[in-house]
Structure formats: structure tokens, C-alpha cells
Structure 1
Amino acid sequence: MRVFLELGWFFKERKKQYAIGIFLLMIVALLGVLPPRIIGFVVDEISRGTLTPAYLMKWLGILAGSAMIMYVLRYAWRLMIFGSSIILARNLRRQLFHHFTQMSPSFYQKRRVGDLMAHATNDLQAVQMTAGAGVLTLFDSLATGGFVIAAMAITIDWKLTLIVLLPLPLMAYLTNYYGKLMHLRFHDAQAAFSGLNDKTQESISGMKVIKTFGQEEEDVEDFRALSKKVVDENIRVARVDSLFDPTISAIIGICYFLAIGFGSYFVTNGDMTIGDLIAFTAYLGLLVWPMLAFGWLFNIVERGRASYDRIRQLLAEPADIDDRKGALDIHPEGDIIFDLEEFKFTDDDRAALRDVRFTLKRGETLGIVGKTGSGKSAILRLLLREFENYRGTITFGGRSITDYKKKKLRQAIGYVPQDHFLFSTTVAGNIAFARPEATEEEIFEAAQLAHIHQDILNFTEGYNTVVGERGVSLSGGQKQRISIARALMMRPELLILDDSLSAVDAKTEEAILESLKRMRTGETTIITSHRLSAIQHAHQIVVMDAGTVAEIGSHDQLMKKKGIYYEMYELQQLEALVEQGGETQ
């Protein structure tokens, strides 16, 4: 029952609702002990031959009145208890989602999407059951059992009551043992479900790749294996769960055996009437629910405890990056100075960046080039404060980027990543994502700057076209340009294009860059690219090689050095010439 203590913070928040619900539950349980006693009175009158219509109608009226009261009270306590459990699920769901938004990329590198979704669905449902049906079962079984036992002992015979209750300690021991087994096995079952959930999400998202490589049968086989594991783990849970009812039924059978055997003896000796024995066995029938409820209670509680443990472990993971005390609540603006000694990704002993130093004046454009894995994107991720475990300083406007609140820093940066993520909404909704209050004219203007406006007009519903999950209905170049328009809608102090023009043709690339140059006068831009045509106009170009700066300067300066940049440029010029069908000598 430890989970009820762990959820104590919520029960305190909803103490009024739970108190009213439990109080009404107690009244219902108390009224529930009336029918057996009334039956006993009527049977005794019948056995003595003294039953009158008035006597019978009096007790029938009491039964009808109590039934009506129980009907109303049951409706009320369900609203209080089950309504509160729904609010608990809502609060935990909010905490989880907020926690997800605060976590850094390293958190998502360690956690699978399917597992996180299982926490927010299956686990939350189990905790909700604990705070709803679990609380109901606990107090209803205790109240009903307590009132029934009291009625048996006080109104009929305390000796027979004591005899009948002798097997109950055995039941308590066995159900507690089953509960411990249930907790361990259900934890494994939830973990298996998370794995299946993750596999399903991954397969659906990657169905195009699966079909392209003809791996449908292999993927189905993987799914079948994971599905079998879920079934096996849940069968292990069911094997324990299946022990509750037979055990409790056996105990109840022993109780009935004792009640009838010793009760008959007491009636024969004149210590009890026939009506008392009938009432006693009826009360014993009422005890069946509390006994069975305890088995069900252990099932609910242990499932809820295992799920709540998983949720708490997730919420307990601290955010790697958080605002410092007294962080500046202003948008940064000004020069950017990058002075880095060394940076390593989490769980990687190799340095991803080392000795990276440059200064970017406000209003200038910086180009970053280099081979795949040379450290281009790592520089950008540090600017965005996705990681902080580095030696050195990064300043923006004369202050360290860690001096600003994360939200303010990122609101000043319009970031267009390599992996263009679009939401399953309209084209206009995707462009206005950071500024939902933007006017139609502002959306059109951003789209025109990104040279995607004409494409959008040709869509079926224009700007109201729903792009599909992750923009599946768009080409790579269209997704890139919509992502650029979305970043421009922020009117950022710093615009970062992380290899964001790779899917557009050279003519469109040139038009976009010209628009940015014209529109972003006095604002800073960083462009990483494999195509040198995208960055050769930059005020300064950083050439990365194996995580460090190999060369730095303008296009003309780097061409004169005839180093790495020069070789890259000449090679790309040669490739372009060959593609155009030219000849070399």
C-alpha cells in the first residue's frame, strides 16, 4: 500500500473531495448491513407465526428508502473519487509533458519515443486506477467488512463471528505475498509494452524505408517477437493474478463451513434463532465482496505502484541545462565571440571540438564549411545551449550565453536544422508556428523571402493545405524553404541555416541568399553548407577539419591561401562543369 503514501501530495490537494467521497462511501456501507438483519427479523416472525402485513410493510419501506439513499450517495462519491483520479492523471500528464520540453537532446538520445509515450499513456492509466478504483476498493472493503463484522458480532453472536474469522489471517498473508510477486512482474510487463510501443512508432515512421529495402517480412517478424514478449510478461502477471480469486474463494468456503457447522450447533442449543443464522449467513455473503476486493485491490495497487515508480524515475531526471539564478530576461543582441578550448559529447571520450575561436560582428554573415563530422553542427548546438559541458566561453552581446534565460536566448535565434520537421497542420500554421498571432500578409512575406510562396499557391488548398505528418506530402526542397520561412517569421537577431539549402537548385539558392542579404541588413547570419556557393558571399568563412579550425577568412583570402578551402572550391567547380557536360583539359 506504499503507493498511497507516495501519492499523499495529491490526496492533500484533493482532501475535501476525497473526504466527502469516503464519508458518503461509509454511509452506503453502513446502509448495506440493514437487509440481512431485516431478513432475519422477518424470518423469525414467520417461524413464530406472528408476521403481520403492517410489520412486513414497515421493513419493506425501510429497505426501499435505504436503497434510494444508497443510489444517490453512490452517484455522489463516484464523482468525488473518480473525478479526482482523472485530475491526478491530468496533472501527471502535464508534469511529464513540461518535463519533456525542458530536457536537453542528450535525454532523448538515451530515451526511446515509444517508451516515453508508454509513460504518458499506459503508466498514467495505471496510476489513475490506483487513485480512483484503488481508493474506492480500499475504503469500501474496509468499511463494508468492518460494518458487517460489527453487525455479526453485536446483533447476532460474537463467538460465532470470531470462529468464522479464524481463516482470515491466512488470506492476508497469501494476498500480501501475491502482491509482491505482482509488483515485480508487472514492472517487467510495462517495460515490454514500452519496447513494443517504440517498435510500432519506429516502424510506422520508417515504413517508406522498410518498403524500399524490402524488409517488410523481417520487420513483421521483429514485431511478432516483441509482441510475444509482451504476451509472455503479461501471462506471468496473470498467473499471479489468477491466484487471488481461488485463494479467497477457498477461504470464503471455509468460513461458510464454519458458519453453518457451528451456527447449527448454536441454534440447536437455543443460543441463536433460525432468523439469526439466516441473517448471519447473509452477512457472510456480504463479506465475499470485501475479501475479493482485497485481491483486486492488490492487483490495482501493485500495477499503480510499478507505473508510478517508472513515472517518478522519469520526472526525477534533472534537466542538463537550466537557467542560472538571476539569469537575464532580455533578448541578446550584438557581436558573437566563440572562444572554445574543448567540447565532448556525453558518453564520448573523443573531443568533438577543440580550439575553435572566431568573432562574428553584428550584421555580418559567417559561413562554416567542412567534411561530414568535422564539427559544423556541434558549433551551432553549443550556440543554442543544447550542451554546456565545454571548456571555454561563448558570448553574445558581450555576455556569456549562459547569463541569458534559455527561452530568451532561443527566441533571439531563428534556427533551420538539417532535419526539417514540419507539424501535421496547414502550411500557414507551420510558417506561423513561433508567431501564431501573425497576419496573413506577414506569412506571405516570409514565404516570399524563402521563395516558397508560388509553390504554396499551387498546392490543392494553398496556404490551408495540410502537409501531413512530418511534411510527408512535400518535397525536400519545399520542406527546407517552409522551415526557412518559419525561422524568418521570428525576425531573429541571429539566423542559423544548418545546411538548409542542400535540397534546392542553385538558382533558387542564389535567390534565397539574395533575399536574406537584402532583408536582414544589420542582423547576423550563420550558414553551414557543403556547397560553397551558399557561403562564398559571407563576410567570414570558417573551415572546419576534425573538430578544429583549419582555416578562417573571406572567400578571396582563403582562395589565395590555396589550402583546404581552395581545394574544395576547385573540386566543386569541376563537378559542376562535368554535370553541365563541359570538358576539362
Structure 2
Amino acid sequence: MKELQHLNKYFKKYKWKLILGFFIVLVARIFAILTPKFSGDMINLVENYMSKGGDLSELKHNLLMTLLLLLGAALLSAFFTFLMRQMFIVVSRYMEADLKNEVYEQYQNLSLNFYKKNRTGDLMNRISEDVSKVRMYLGPAIMYGVTTFILFATVIPYMFYTAPELTLYVIIPLPILSVAIYQLSRLIHKRSTVVQQYLSHLSTFTQESFSGIGVIKAYGIEKQTYTNFEKLSITSRDKNLDLVKVQAFFFPLMIALIGVSNLLVIYIGGKKYIEGSIPDLGVIVEFLIYVNMLTWPVASVGWITSLVQQAEASQKRINEFLNEKPSIVNHTEQHTPIDGSIQFNKVSFTYEDTNITALKDVSFEVKKGETLAIIGKTGSGKSTILELIGRLYDTTGGSIEIDGTNITALNLKDLRNSIGYVPQEAFLFSDSIKENIKFGKKDATDAEVTEAAKNASVHDNIVDFTKGYDTVLGERGITLSGGQKQRVSIARAIIKDPQILLFDDSLSAVDTETEEEILENIKRIASDKTTILVSHRISSAKNADKIIILEEGQIIQRGTHNDLVNQEGYYQELYRKQLEEKEME
């Protein structure tokens, strides 16, 4: 149980509730073991009356009093059992929530490299399915484990005290039941794992099919997709049937072994009663009830063992990610205000996952209030520069300074709060347009949202929608066109009012007229901000204070628009080519 030691801090956190739960279990079991005793006493009262005679009214009175005691003990046992479940199961839910929060917080802290190496489905599975398996250990396994221990500690000694030989015969089938249930649980676990795997395949297939339904229809492959789904569905059904066939043995096996124990009580107990070694018939009744009372706890030993095994395996998977160290670490908790000046000093960077060197000795400076445009072919390292400014990665060579301070010495939260970033692929959440824009500033007023949308030239599109700003977007913003998604992303960055604005080719899906309108608005609102604009278009870069041209991670040209159009090289060729394309339109 080495992996489960990670959970000890949660046991410590809720120790008083768990200790109280232990005592509640003890009280519940004490009242529970009284009920067979009172049942036996009632049989003995009737037996004595039948054999010795006596006052019938006294018998009725004694039976009534014993019945009331039986009823009281049963009700108190039920009440404390309810409290027991409330204590252990509720605490396990708190622990589950704490563990999920811990995992999710770790996910937030881990760097982009981690997400490149791991699949989203696996991340989700560990925070949902694996944590659920661990909760079964934190709640039901511990609760039934404590219940079984206390029940055995109280019932078995009493049974030995009452009829030692009969007790030995009665408990013989119980270990067999426990071992059988354990083996059955292991088999169920194996087949359940296979079922979960196929369920995951099925879910992934359907999710991708629904997300790519446009492509499926465009290529006319609905029938082929349906055939593939049917194959997966049939296989999943067969795996479920394999599981159900094993599960079908569970309760019949329990009932059979309970029946054997009951037969032993009746047969051996009856013989002992006839021989006179058991003085009272009520003892046999007591033992019958005790056997049925012990059966589930004994069976649960195998089930609990299986739960612990599953929890150990799941916690091991969770610990793999919890033990992962973020490559980007905040080196200071002190507040570090950001003004916006950026300087790259011979910066080099190589991606760990692909070993591709994206930047080689890149140096430039952008002062507060200036706009830098970065132009280059695909894969030249443009987006990498923006990612390094936001410290999504750390440089592998050289240094980046912001306001004269090394970027690694800045408070990471202050740094990222000072940046408004519009990624190359606009990502919108499945929420209203208003909430997507307010993602940049949660306490923004409706007027601020509207102003940001106007500056991003998307307001007119939004008001044309039936529900306007309250229009709920589909997954990844599928409701909007590519250009609309980009402009909503720009509005989200603008409303944040950051010191640094980063645009990663975020105007590629808008027309030239809209592009010019957005750039004019950005120029107006970013007059006191540092702006870096990545683009493939000369029209986006021409008004920038500085322009750098990247090729294979190196700066091959730099200057203003006027400097570069009069200078032979990539920029001049691109300018002429795009000018010709515009004239042909």
C-alpha cells in the first residue's frame, strides 16, 4: 500500500470525524448483536412455558418486554448505522473533492511540454475514474473494514462463549466464502478494466465523430463511420456480457455458502440440543441470525481486498502526475509590477519533445508604447517568441529581460496578468459570447464588453445574432466563423487592458478592410502598451515601429517598413507578391 500513503494527509485532516465514525460503528454493532440475543430469549421463554408451564399472562408480559427491547435495539442499530454511513461516506466525498482539486491544481501548474506528452483523455480519466476508484477505498472499503473488524471482535467471542464447538462448525464455510469472493472480485476487476477500456474507445470515437461531423458529411463517409462504430459497439457489448457472466456467480455463491452455514447450525446445533450440551433452543436461533449477520462482512473481506488493489493501482497512476515537477517555476512570491519593455539577449530555444531548435541567438528590444511586427515562413520561430515572453517555456540559451529584470526573476502571476495574448488558433469556451470576452476581465461591465467588441470589429456581427451577446457558443466556438472567433479572442485580450499585447497571426481569417479597422483600433488603445504582432501579411506589419524577419530561427532582416521595402530580401519579395495579389483581386 505504498502508493496509498499519499492519502495519509487526508486521513490526518479528517481524523476526528473518522475517530467519531469508529465509535459510532462500535455502538451500532453492539446494538446489532443484541437483537439475536433477544430473539433467542423469546424462544427460550416460549420453550420454558411449553415444558414447565406457568402463568400465561406473565409469559405475554415477558414476551412483550423482550420484543420492545428487540425493537429498540434494532432501531438504535439502524440509527447508528445511518450515522456511520453519513460519517464515513461523507468524509470520503470530502477526500475525493480534495484529491480532485489537488490533481487539477497540479494540471494547472504543469508546463506545456507535459500536455504535449500526454493525451487529454488520459488526463481526464485520472482525475475522474482513477479518483473514483480511490474514493471507494477511502469510503466503503474502510467503512466495511472497520465494521467487519468490530463485528468479528464482538460476535465471535460471544459465540465461542455460548457454544464453542458449534461456533467452530459454523465458521468453517466463512473463510471459503471470503477466498471465493476475493478470486471472483479479481476476475470481475480484470473484466471491468477491459470494459472501461472499450467504453473509453467508444466515447473517443463518438466524440471525434460528432466534432468532425462536417468532414464526415463532406466526404460522404457516414456509412463507413457507422460500420466502424457498430464494430466497436458490438465488441463493447461482448466484453460487457463477459463481465456480467462472472458477476452472475457473486450472489448465488453467497446464498449457497450462507445456506451451508445455516444447515450446519440447524444440524449440529439440533444434535447438541438433543444431547443436552446446548441447554436452550434459543441458542440455535441466535446462531442462525449471527451466521447471516456475519456472511456479508466475511464476503466483503474479498471485496475490500479487491477495492484496495484497485485503489492502489489508480493512486499509482495519479501519483505519476502529482510527482511530475513543473518545468516553469515561480521563483518569487513578491509582487513585481510590469511596465512593458522587452529585451531578447541572444535567445536560443530547443523544443524538448521534438528536439527542434526554434530560435538561434535572437536579439531585439521593444520599448513601452512601441509595436514590433515579426514576419517569417511557417516554422521560423515566430510563435515561439511569444510563448517565451509569456514564460510558457524557459529559454535554453540567452536571456529575456522585461523592464531590465530577467524574466525568471519576475513573479509569474504578475507577468501573465500583464499580458493579453491572442493565440494563432482562437480557442473559445462553450459559454456565451459575453462570458468569453469577460474571460479577460471577470468583473467587466456590459459597456466594457461592448467597447472591446467594437475595437475588435465584431460588435456588428454579435448584435445580428438572435440572442446577441448572450448567444451560447458550441464546442470550441464552432457557432462562429474563423474570423469571428479571432475577433472575439482579440476582444478578450483588449478588455484585459494589459501592459503587453501579443497577437499570434490573429488576423489571418479576416478580410483586409476589417484588418485595417482592427489595427487602427489597436494602435489607438495600445499607444502606452508594448505590442508584438506576428503575421504573414505585410498589411499587418507595415505600421509597426520595428519589423524583424525570421528564417529558421534567426533574424535575417530588421528595420521599418520603408527600410525593408527598399532592401533586397524576403520582406521586399513578400511585399511585391502580396501587392500583385491585391491588384489581381
TM-score normalised by length of structure 2 = 0.90
Aligned in 2, Cα 1:362/1:216: closer, same or farther, shift over 3 Å? Answer: same
Aligned twin of 2:88: 81
Change in CA separation of 1:117 and 1:198 when aligned onto 2, cut-off 3 Å? farther
Do the aligned partners of residues 492 and 565 (structure 1) sit closer, same or farther apart at CA in structure 2, a change above 3 Å counting? same
Q: What's the counterpart of residue 362 of structure 1?
A: 368
Give CA deviations for 1:43-95 in whole Å, capped at 9, x if unaligned. 23323314711111111110121122223223322221221122122212222
8 Å CA contact 2:359, 2:553 repeated in 1: yes
SS of the residue corresponding to residue 33 of structure 1 reads helix
What pairs up with 1:416-427 in 2 under 5 angstroms?
416-427=422-433
Q: Which residue of 2 aligns with 1:7?
A: 7
Shift of 1:170: 4.5
Q: Quick check: 1:162 aligned with 2:168?
A: yes
- Residue in 1 aligned with 2:63? 56
Q: 1:120 aligns with which of 108, 123, 127?
A: 127
Equivalent residues of 2:350, 2:396 under 8 A apart = yes
Aligned to 1:466: 472
CA gap 1:385/1:441 in 2 versus in 1, 3 angstroms: same
Q: Higher mean Cα deviation, 462-471 or 531-540? A: 462-471
2:357 maps to a residue whose letter is A
Q: Is the 8 A contact 1:341 1:356 kept in 2?
A: yes
Partner residue of 1:319? 326
**2:40 corresponds to:** 40
- 1:415-442 per-residue CA deviation (whole Å, 9 max, x = no partner) reads 1111111222222222221212122332
Residue 469 of structure 1: how far off its partner (Å): 3.0
CA distance in 2, matches of 1:485, 1:247: 65
Which letter does structure 2 place at the counterpart of 1:164?
A: V
> What is the RMSD of the two structures over their aligned residues, measured on CA atoms?
2.7
1:582 matched residue in structure 2: none
2:564 is equivalent to residue 542 of structure 1? no
Q: CA deviation at 1:298?
A: 3.4
Q: Distance in 2 between matches of 1:306 and 1:189?
A: 17
Give the secondary-structure state (helix, strand or coil) at the position aligned to 1:126.
Answer: helix
Which residue of structure 1 lines up, in the alignment, with residue 483 of structure 2? 477
Cα distance in structure 2, aligned partners of 1:99 and 1:222:
37
For 2:116 and 2:216, locate their aligned partners in 1 and report how far apart those are by CA, in whole Å: 22
Contact 1:182–1:303, Cα closer than 8 Å, also in 2: no
Aligned to 2:100: 93
Question: Which range moved further: 528-537 or 159-168?
Answer: 159-168
Q: Does 1:454 align with 2:460?
A: yes
CA distance in 1, matches of 2:109, 2:6: 24
Check the 8 A contact 2:111/2:328 in 1, yes or no: yes
Q: 1:108-127 deviations in whole A, cap 9, x for unaligned?
A: 22222222222233333333
Q: How does 1:236-247 map to 2 (within 5 A)?
A: 245=251
Distance in 2 of aligned mates of 1:467 and 1:103 = 28
- Residue-by-residue CA offset, 1:444-469 (whole Å, 9 max, x unaligned): 22222222222222222332332333
Amino acid at match of 1:381: E
Q: Give 2:580's aligned residue.
A: 574
**Alignment partner of 1:399 is 2:405:** yes
Deviations 1:506-537 (A, max 9, x none): 11111111122222213211111111110011
**CA 1:209–1:10 in structure 2 vs 1: closer, same or farther (change >3 Å)?**
same
Identity, in percent, stands at: 36
In the alignment, the residues of structure 2 paired with residue 197 and residue 313 of structure 1 have an alpha-carbon distance, to the nearest angstrom, of 24
The answer to whether the 8 Å contact 1:245/1:295 transfers is no
In terms of mean alpha carbon deviation, does 448-457 or 53-62 score higher? 448-457
Aligned-partner Cα distance in 2 for 1:549–1:403: 26
| CA pair 83-268 structure 1, distance change in 2 beyond 3 A | same
TM-score by length of 1: 0.90
- 2: CA distance between counterparts of 1:298 and 1:244? 15
Measured in 1, the distance between the counterparts of 2:305 and 2:206 equals 31
**Distance of 1:236 and 1:358 partners within structure 2:** 65
Q: How far 1:565 sits from its partner (Å)?
A: 1.1
CA distance in 2, matches of 1:74, 1:167: 27
CA contact (8 A) 1:328 1:403 kept: no
Going from structure 1 to structure 2, the CA distance change for 1:227 and 1:424 (only over 3 Å counts) comes to same
Matches of 2:312 and 2:546 in 1, distance apart? Answer: 58
Give CA deviations for 1:351-377 in whole Å, capped at 9, x if unaligned: 122222222222211111111112111
Map 1:184-583 onto structure 2 (within 5 A): 190=196, 192-224=198-230, 245=251, 248-249=254-255, 251-272=257-278, 273-324=280-331, 326=332, 328-388=334-394, 390-579=396-585
Whole-Å separation in 2 of the counterparts to 1:426 and 1:256: 64
SS in 2 for 1:352: strand
Count of residue correspondences: 577
* Partners of 1:15 and 1:188 in 2: CA distance: 36
Q: Which moved more, 1:196-205 or 1:308-317?
A: 196-205
Shift of the alpha carbon at 1:140? Answer: 2.1
In the TM superposition, residue 344 of structure 1 has moved relative to its aligned partner by 1.5
- Give the drift of 1:204: 3.0
Structure 2 segments unaligned to the other structure (5+ residues): none
Q: Secondary structure at the match of 1:561?
A: coil
For 1:524 and 1:408, the matched residues in 2 are separated by: 16
